[in-house]
Amino acid sequence: MLPEKLPTVAIIGRTNVGKSTLFNRLIEQSKALVSATAGTTRDRNEGECLWRGKVIRMIDTGGLDINKQDEIERNILLQAELAIKEADIILFVVDLKNPPLPSDLDLASKLWKTKTPIIVVGNKAEKSMERRRAKQPDWRLRGLPAPVPVSATQGSGCGDLLDEIYIKLEQLGKHPVDYRKIDATRIAVIGKPNVGKSTLLNALIGEDRFITSSIAHTTREPNDILVHLGDKNYLFYDTAGMRKHAKINKSGGLEKMAVEKNEYIIRQSDVSLLVIDATEPIGSQEKTLGGILKDSGSGLIIIVNKWDLVEGKDVSTMNDYRKYFAREFPFLSWAPIMFVSAKSKQRVSTIYKMIDDVSRNRNIQIEPKKLHNFLLAAIRQHLPSLGKGKNPPKVLGLIQVSTAPPVFDLTVKAQRTDALHPSYLRFLENRLRELHDFNGTPMKIVVRIATSVSK
């Protein structure tokens, strides 16, 4: 779960200046109801803002008119005052399309009396005229700082605003929380360009968070978003499409750096989703990605996207594709395959359960006694086969040394580690997978020579 105490930022302003639109933009979700009708937000909304790998808490409050005295307005004012007390920083939002109103000045006077640092945000600055207006003297409300011009609708200026918020929080000693310290399942979404990775992510989170386009390489930098579902957190990474290495080298350093960053993210992820276009044959890019994923230690789910576009499907089409995939990726036989349509959201919701299953399987720990009995039964079924050298190896023991992914040490009596034939390691792995649910997780068996022999 998230830490109980995150640095907190409260969004304050009069009615209809775009506070909820800004809140949604900063937390990258459509959590707050947005309307042109003043006073749409009455209760406060809360959400987490993830920026440059670090998380803070955002509070959106109802539009304020401190001169109104009806019960609803008093409740809104009470909620805003509570948010101000909790906040480490206040975002005072104003509308740069119009001159300051008396209610802006009243709020500025009230906020000026607080000890909490204030950043004035000049919203609706879509045009250069509004951005220039932020520098005019009449927007230095009651001695508060000049507005930071943004367009919550378009997103322009929001990155600069977040940079200023995070810098000020650090100066205050209120350190945003590194997302790596958050209890969340980390999922990398991987695939060659234009297979629908960003569309799949948008379908998974229910928002148009990621830029989608029919033009390949739309996504250059890995993006991330934190998703809450029930009592679980999921941290998704949308990575740049990875092309053939020859094309990457020709395209210059930017794309090469993106690929290296993608590989790093895969290694840090609990689960990776390898997205494949069902309408195209599997090519060398997918095989390169498959090799990276196999050796990364990340759990793996194969997502066959655009399944709705496959023509002439019948009851055997999915099984036929599984056989085709097995021929192309014999080293990924442990990865489950899901057939989806990101565009129509067909079967997309079932991916979460598979992510949970694979994440759990990566952390399976087998008791030593069970492993001992397993090894005895495996040896009775199939005696160890000779690899290199003259003397047949003798298997002495099997222990699990780590999880996520599962790693096992196999102790043998032999003169060299390759005295045991690789096929016997595959036999043991297959038997382990038959007896325990390691679906979706890679596994490693390391051969160790018995100490008494190695001396």
What ranges do the domains of the chain cover? 8-178, 184-362, 368-454
205 vs 204, higher pLDDT: 204
State the SS3 of the chain. CCCCCCCEEEEECECCCCHHHHHHHHHCCCCCCCCCCCCCCCCCEEEEEEECCEEEEEEECCCECCCCCCHHHHHHHHHHHHHHHHCCEEEEEEECCCCCCHHHHHHHHHHHCCCCCEEEEEECCCCHHHHHHCCCHHHCHHHCCCCEECCCCCCCCHHHHHHHHHHHHHHCCCCCEEHHHCCCEEEEEECCCCCCHHHHHHHHHCCCCCCCCCCCCCCCCCEEEEEEECCEEEEEEECCCCCCHHHHHHCCHHHHHHHHHHHHHHHHCCEEEEEEECCCCCCHHHHHHHHHHHHHCCEEEEEEECHHHCCCCCCCHHHHHHHHHHHHCHHHCCCCEEECECCCCECHHHHHHHHHHHHHHHCCCCCHHHHHHHHHHHHHHCCCCECCCCCCCEEEEEEEEECCCCEEEEEEECCCHHHECHHHHHHHHHHHHHHCCCCCCCCEEEEEECHHHHC
Same fold, 8-178 and 368-454: no
224 vs 164, higher pLDDT: 164
Summarize the confidence of residues 107-127 as an average pLDDT: 88
Predicted pLDDT at 43: 45
pLDDT in tens, 271-313: 999 999 999 999 988 988 898 898 899 999 999 999 999 999 9
User: Are 191 and 241 spatial neighbours (Cβ–Cβ below 8 Å)?
Assistant: yes
Summarize the confidence of residues 101-124 as an average pLDDT: 87
Fold for domain 8-178?
Rossmann fold (3.40.50)
CATH number of 184-362: 3.40.50.300
Fold for domain 368-454?
GMP Synthetase; Chain A, domain 3 (3.30.300)
Summarize the confidence of residues 365-378 as an average pLDDT: 96
pLDDT in tens, 16-38: 888 888 998 888 765 433 333 33
Predicted pLDDT at 347: 95
